[in-house]
Amino acid sequence: MKKVVLAFSGGLDTSYCAVYLSKVKKMEVYSALVNTGGFDTEELKQVHSKAETLGLKEHVNLEVTEEFYTRCVKYLVFGNALRNHTYPLSVSAERVFQAMAIADYANKIGADAIAHGSTGAGNDQVRFDLVFEILCPEKEIITPIRDQQLSREEEVRFLEEHGVSQAWNKAKYSINKGLWGTSVGGAETLTSNKGLPEEAWPTQVTKSGEESVELEFDKGELTGINGEKFSPVEAIMRLAELAAPFGIGRDIHVGDTIIGIKGRVGFEAAAPLIIIKSHQLLEKHVLSKWQQYWKDQMGTWYGMQVHEGQFLEPVLRDIESFLSNSQQRVTGKVIVKLFPYRFELLGIESQFDLMSSEFGSYGEMNIGWTGEDVKAFTKVLSNAGKIQHKIQGDD
């Protein structure tokens, strides 16, 4: 029998794929769930149990949360990457790491094929296929849901005919949770003019009033909250626990998909948005004007490539080197105040703060230069414009 590795979540689509591959295609199915920070221990056990009920050859949970942070999320922070100035790549970034883990596992066990449950209408099919084509091009890629275009009712009927009977409750909203945020899809996100209702959001609002949080960054990485030290992954999770109950980090992103159509998706990403905006504020104080300018260009392009599944492109390693080097003095504290549905950045403290009164206070007084210095400086600065205006006129 041919071996196939199935990217498995335990939902209806991947359960259909599991039974279809084993019963119809007569393949040895090795299912694998890749955790990028969205599953706790109990949830992983539940998925493992579901896989066992389907009678598969083997199921494994592949843990890559730390790797996901170290190799990708860290650079999304360094680059202040927000897709269309809105979306922190909550799900799109993790898909590549799930695909890489699946490909590695398939190579390890000598699988003949790899399968996933993506449909033919979204970005994920491209992200998974792209990684598989690069890392294991000799393996067949099988996508039953994309190829057969089955309805939910047809999938349930097929499973029941093969002895798999569960309460396949169709959730009203599609939720994908990971370290860097949670996506939310539903009927409203298929329109251009509707917002998501309160019950659609994974974290309900349970906090009121206001709460101050002090974030500590070390060379661009979040390593402390309110005086307590954490690893960066732990810090992200802790900040989410503090901020998400305020309803912070909710939004709907609309953008251009890899396959060329416009798409909308809701997301809940309290920690990513607070971290990126706090990190960016700290950078405004400690980096030069031109460092910030080129970081904006590099970070935006880096985020776009990651979003579109191009993480394995070698030029991204070059950009990561640039971003890492820019963080050598991005160290200090950022004071944030949390409110229901919003947050405010109050200020920063850093030994590298370039906003120094030793050289002057903006709009108040000059210390490092005289008024005559400014007059001469401005006269020279105006030369190019003066010449152009004199010779070419108002145009």
For residue 143, CA distances in Å to 115, 148, 161, 296 come to: 6, 8, 21, 37
Are 274 and 336 in contact, with CB atoms under 8 Å apart? Answer: yes
CB contact at 8 A, 182 and 90: yes
Residues 17 and 127 in one domain: yes
pTM for the full predicted model: 0.93
Domain ranges, residue 217: 174-287+326-349
Q: Are residues 189 and 254 in the same domain?
A: yes
Instruction: For residues 267 and 308, give the distance between their C-alpha atoms in angstroms, rounded to a whole number.
Output: 18
Q: Is 311 within a domain?
A: no
Q: Which amino acid is at 66?
A: E
Instruction: State residue 174's pLDDT score.
Output: 87
Q: Which two tokens stand for residue 155?
A: 């999938």
Query: What CA–CA distance (Å, rounded) separates 94 from 329?
Result: 28
**61-93 pLDDT per residue, tens:** 999 999 999 999 999 999 999 999 999 999 999
Distance of CA 236 to the CA centre of its chain: 12
pLDDT digits (tens, 9 = 90+) for 260-277: 999 999 999 999 999 999
Q: Say how far apart CA 58 and CA 46 lie, in whole Å.
A: 15
Same domain membership, residue 341 and residue 369: no
Task: Please check whether residues 245 and 144 belong to one and the same domain.
Answer: no
- 26 and 149 assigned to the same domain: yes
pLDDT of residue 356: 73
Q: Are residues 102 and 249 in the same domain?
A: no
Question: Both 150 and 263 in a single domain?
Answer: no
What is the DSSP track for 128-170? Answer: HHHHHHHH-TTSEEE-HHHHH---HHHHHHHHHHTT-------
How many Å apart are CA 105 and CA 30, to the nearest integer? Answer: 10
pLDDT at 361 over 70: no
Q: How confident is the model at residue 132 (pLDDT cuts 50, 70, 90)?
A: very high
Within-domain flag for 366: yes
Of all residues in the chain, what percent carry a pLDDT higher than 70?
A: 97
Split at pLDDT 50, 70, 90, the class of 299 is very high
Q: Report the CATH number that the domain containing residue 209 is assigned in CATH.
A: 3.90.1260.10
Same domain, 224 and 283: yes
Distance CA 224, CA 232 (A): 8
Q: Calculate the average pLDDT of the chain.
A: 94
Answer yes or no: do 244 and 276 share one domain.
Answer: yes
Angle CA(47)–CA(45)–CA(162) in degrees, nearest 5? 35
Same domain, 114 and 203: no
Question: pLDDT tens for residues 170-224?
Answer: 668 889 999 999 999 999 999 999 999 999 999 999 999 999 999 999 999 999 9
